[in-house]
Chains A and B, each alone.
Chain A
């Protein structure tokens, strides 16, 4: 249902060799999301517009973009929340190389997950029974609090430390490492602590809190990184002692 209003939408166009905002006039709809706006432009105004999305329900983490200067998951961001002046500016995520228009290269983001040991380190083979997990233990609750990350890179784009230090692993990778460190089924404790304590690891975080402020799933990567700092220092003291 159209609401009758028309908004001005400035969309970042181009790739690494040159780019600029291009304006479109887009009709307002009821319950319209920012992703709906991008899809409308691509379907009705310019089929060459490049962007990325999949699930449209906030599960896949692929549609994150910079909306009016703030990183957001566009499929769950309603236009009425961000278009208060009747204008929306949509750009690709910060701190990641732009492939074209609104699509960024996520490789550096996921390479840092690997560098942070953000992969599962199994203890048992498929032929052994699954290890029992007690949900009420402190460690399990800490693992669960950090586990619902959808890899959208909103925290990564929000972080000024990532923007200033290309080596910094970033909040998402470190949050994942913290979740695994607290998982009794994971056997990578030493590898995770070595990665977290290395240059570009958790000790590079300045606790600006933008990751926690903008995480669409309301996770707290800043607290996860603080946990990693404690665990990393405790492990270093244990080695010395």
Chain B
């Protein structure tokens, strides 16, 4: 359960940024290893690509694209907060980061299926 003093948009934005960053740190080594198969083991890559053509995997990829996008846009928000002499409407910017990420990952998903 999330404690009462944490129930506000910027704390959720902080949580989302940490969770998405950790998930991407776990994902990227696997992603690069998979890309390396193109050079080292073509058959294994073809098997993997066939496996990744399932609906469930595509739904998981939607989640990955969302996490990547929300980490990117949320990170831009934090960079703007910390490097520009202007603090901006942070709640609105955090909401915009989530909205843009849903848009990007939604477009990816519609193209994938």
Contact = CB atoms under 8 A, between A and B. Distances in A.
A143 to B, nearest CB: 14
Interface string A205-241: 0111110111000001011001101100000000000
Interface string B72-113: 000000100111010100100000000000000000000000
Interface residues of B, number: 17
A36 interface: no
Contacts of B11: 160, 208-210, 213
A207 B82 contact: yes
A209 to B, nearest CB: 3
B27 interface: no
Nearest to B10: A209
B31 interface: no
Nearest to A67: B4
A213 B91 CA distance: 10
28 contacts: A68-B4, A69-B5, A70-B4, A71-B5, A157-B5, A158-B5, A206-B14, A207-B14, A207-B82, A208-B10, A209-B8, A209-B9, A209-B10, A209-B90, A210-B5, A213-B8, A213-B11, A214-B5, A220-B87, A222-B10, A222-B81, A222-B87, A222-B90, A223-B81, A223-B87, A226-B82, A226-B87, A230-B85
A43 B110 CA distance: 66
Contact of B10 (A94, A213, A226, A227): A213
A208 B14 contact: yes
Contacts of A212: 10, 90
Given A158-B5, A214-B5, A222-B90, A207 B10 contact: yes
Interface string A144-167: 000000000000011010000000
Most buried by A among B6, B82, B85: B82
Interface string B7-37: 0111101100000000000000000000000
A222 B81 CA distance: 9
B54 interface: no
Nearest to B15: A208
A81 to B, nearest CB: 13
Nearest to B8: A213
A3 B18 CA distance: 47
A229 B14 contact: no
B78 A207 contact: yes
Nearest to A154: B5
B63 to A, nearest CB: 24
Given A222-B87, A229-B82, A230-B83, A69 B3 contact: yes
A230 B14 contact: no
Contacts of A68: 4
B18 to A, nearest CB: 8
Contacts of B14: 206-209
Contacts of A69: 3-5
A87 to B, nearest CB: 13
A216 to B, nearest CB: 14
A103 to B, nearest CB: 20
Interface in A168-204: none
B98 to A, nearest CB: 15
A68 B5 CA distance: 9
A162 B38 CA distance: 48
